[in-house]
Amino acid sequence: MYVLGIETSCDETGVAIYHSKRGLCNHLLYSQIEMHSEYGGVVPELASRDHIRKLVPLIKQSLQESQLSSADINGIAYTAGPGLMGALLVGAATARSLAWSWQIPAVAVHHMEGHLLAPMLEAPPPAFPFVALLISGGHTLLVQVDGIGHYRLLGESLDDAAGEAFDKTAKMLGLGYPGGPKLSKLAENGRPVFQFPRPMTDRPGLDFSFSGLKTYTMNTLNGSQKTEQDKADIAMAFQNAVADTLSIKCRRALKQTGLKRLVVAGGVSANKHIRACLTEMAGRENAAIYFPRPEFCTDNGAMIAYAGCQRLLAGQQQELEIFARPRWPISELSGL
Ligand SMILES: Nc1ncnc2c1ncn2[C@@H]1O[C@H](COP(=O)(O)OP(=O)(O)OP(=O)(O)O)[C@@H](O)[C@H]1O
Ligand SMILES: [Mg+2]
């Protein structure tokens, strides 16, 4: 079964074709980062308009590069939420219309389920059940995954998401958007002179909070000379605090569930220091750890094509309505 995957939930237009037996045939990504960077963040209306411009040409290119025609496609998977309403509607309307005209099923995919299943595109894929840490621009979730669609929320951020905290801290340090990768680069020149707090690790539970850490960073920056070296030292201290906090909570989640497999996904999982910290912790706990390849940590069409393919194989599909849900708790998903 060939599945066309479409991702338009935020500022990336992602398209991919996945075959249920042969795996990923092709994936293409157009990032709008340059367009939004002059505003310091995503402008929703500009995002929607750019998805309209880029989506159909990308679909044509993906078919061409895979040496397939529309008649070969057996189903379409599209991100239906959570995300920006206008941006989601572009993907949902295009997917639903193409599926109708090609007379094939369309399936709505939850964006975070896409992120969560992205490591399934790697070899070896993780077996169920596992603990998943999802760290992205809009979410920080710890989930027990018993199977596709069987998600038990273990913990989440009570305020800023991990990626949001990286982006806001980077802005404070005078770095551009999106700040995560830039802050991480700056931290490479840092010296271990500051020790930042590890929020919510001194009490039981698996929830996160990053907004206090952001304020602590701001106060440290304001109390310094704001030299390039100060900024690098602060970036390093911030990154270390986030990495340690995530690692402490993941260790707790593994202990609480008794599971020995940890999956880490979402944009922030591309961070080398966080990957190293979590890998070291997993090693100490005798647990296996799984990450997507760096390009599948951030938004992409491949994860949507994969997740949609699993749901289509299980007989799920959407009615003819154009389905988009900007807010959509992952715990509301049905299992296969
Ligand atoms: N190397 C890195 N270090 C830290 N953060 C990073 C790195 N690379 C990307 N990020 C962060 O990842 C986020 C983008 O990830 P992703 O595309 O998964 O999020 P999103 O799609 O905007 O949010 P969501 O998936 O929650 O809707 C941004 O906040 C970005 O700063
Ligand atoms: Mg995302």
Rounded to the nearest angstrom, the distance between the alpha carbon of 298 and the centre of ligand 2 is 6
pLDDT for the residue 306:
98
Report the alpha-carbon distance of residue 7 to residue 111 in Å, rounded: 8
- Under 8 Å between Cβ of 69 and 60: no
The residues pairing with 157 across neighbouring beta strands, listed in sequence order, are 208
Q: Name residue, tokens 């042969």.
A: 22
Identify the burial level of 219 via C-beta atoms within 10 angstroms of its C-beta, where 0-12 means exposed, 13-18 middle and 19 or more buried.
Answer: exposed
pLDDT for the residue 260:
98
Helix, strand, coil content of the chain in percent (nearest 5): 45, 20, 35
pLDDT for the residue 178:
86
pLDDT for the residue 177:
85
pLDDT for the residue 243:
98
- Under 8 Å between Cβ of 46 and 332: no
Question: Which mutation among 183, 236, 268 tests ligand 1's pocket best, with the greatest number of atoms within 8 A of CB?
Answer: 268
Q: Whose CA is nearest to atom 20 of ligand 1?
A: 137
pLDDT tens series, the chain, 336 aa: 999 999 999 999 999 999 999 999 999 999 999 999 999 899 999 999 999 999 999 999 999 999 999 999 999 999 999 999 999 999 999 999 999 999 999 999 999 999 999 999 999 999 999 999 999 999 999 999 999 999 999 999 999 999 999 999 999 999 988 899 999 999 999 999 999 999 999 999 999 999 999 999 999 999 999 999 999 999 999 999 999 999 999 999 999 999 999 999 999 999 999 999 999 999 999 999 999 999 999 999 999 999 999 999 999 999 999 999 999 999 999 998
Ligand nearest the Cα of residue 181 is 1
Nearest atom (ligand 1) to Cα of 162: 29
Q: Whose CA is nearest to atom 12 of ligand 1?
A: 267
- Under 8 Å between Cβ of 109 and 141: no
Reduced to 3 states (helix: H, G, I; strand: E, B; else coil), residue 115 is helix
Rounded to the nearest angstrom, the distance between the alpha carbon of 99 and the centre of ligand 1 is 30
Task: Give residues (CB < 6 A) around ligand 1.
Answer: 9-10, 83, 111, 115, 136-139, 163, 166-167, 178-181, 184, 266-268, 270-271, 298-299
CA dihedral 265, 150, 334, 301 (to 10 degrees): 20
Q: State which residues have CB under 5 angstroms from ligand 2, the bound ion.
A: 136, 299
